A = this chain, B = another copy of it.
Amino acid sequence: MSVVNVRLAGTGGQGLILAGLILAEAAARSHGKNVVQTNSYGPEARGGASKSDVIISDEVIYNPKPETIDVLLVLSQAACDKYCGELSPGGAVVFDSSGVVPPPGLKAMGADVTGIAVRELSNEIVANVVALGVLAGAFGLVSAEAVESAVLARVPAKAKDLNLKAVRRGIEEGRRIRSEMEKK
């Protein structure tokens, strides 16, 4: 694919803007891609759905607003309800299997994002980094090495171990959901 439009969506406070930024940095710095990354704030960000869009391309990007979404990650039901309709034909939605139910008829993959953060890592705050790993593992948007190094570049020193665990478990979970999808 020469262009991939990715949207990370959930409620404000889930850290998806930082996750979008890290994905963009990984794609640009490690893979030499052109990337435009857009964050939207406003009424949406205060309790409703909030979103971070990342366009990853081999070509120059003239329009920063993605027309359709190829890969959608949703960590809240509101975000799922709001954005699933913008998926491109063939696009895929990854939903948090802890609390989101996608509409029927989509290429949908449930990933245990919040569960891994809360139950395995005892820290809900790294759900965004788990999610980032899931996207890398499931779609190969960026390599494992690229996403790990981009995460480490953006987190404080004392949080590096936890975040590295989070991104690695996310990558594993991403690979698992991809192989499940391929079996279908």
A residues neighboring B (CB under 8 Å)? 17, 21, 24-25, 27-29, 33-43, 45, 60-61, 63-65, 156-157
A41 touches B35 (CB 8 A): yes
A24 touches B37 (CB 8 A): no
B42 touches A33 (CB 8 A): yes
Give the nearest-CB partner of A18 in chain B.
Answer: B21
Among B27, B36, B37, B156, contact of A156 (Cβ-Cβ < 8 Å) = B156
B37 touches A38 (CB 8 A): yes
Can you list the 7 inter-chain pairs with the closest CB atoms, starting with the nearest? A28-B41, A34-B42, A156-B156, A35-B41, A37-B39, A38-B38, A64-B65
Q: List 12 A-B pairs, Cβ < 8 Å.
A: A17-B21, A25-B41, A28-B42, A29-B41, A29-B45, A33-B41, A34-B42, A36-B41, A38-B38, A38-B64, A40-B61, A156-B156
Chain copies in complex: 2
Instruction: Point out the residues of chain B lying under 8 angstroms from A60, CB to CB.
Output: 42
Instruction: Point out the residues of chain B lying under 8 angstroms from A25, CB to CB.
Output: 41
A112, B21: Cα distance in complex, Å: 29
A40 touches B36 (CB 8 A): yes
Chain B nearest CB from A59 CB (Å) reads 10
A24 touches B36 (CB 8 A): no
Instruction: Point out the residues of chain B lying under 8 angstroms from A29, CB to CB.
Output: 41, 45
Instruction: Point out the residues of chain B lying under 8 angstroms from A35, CB to CB.
Output: 39-42
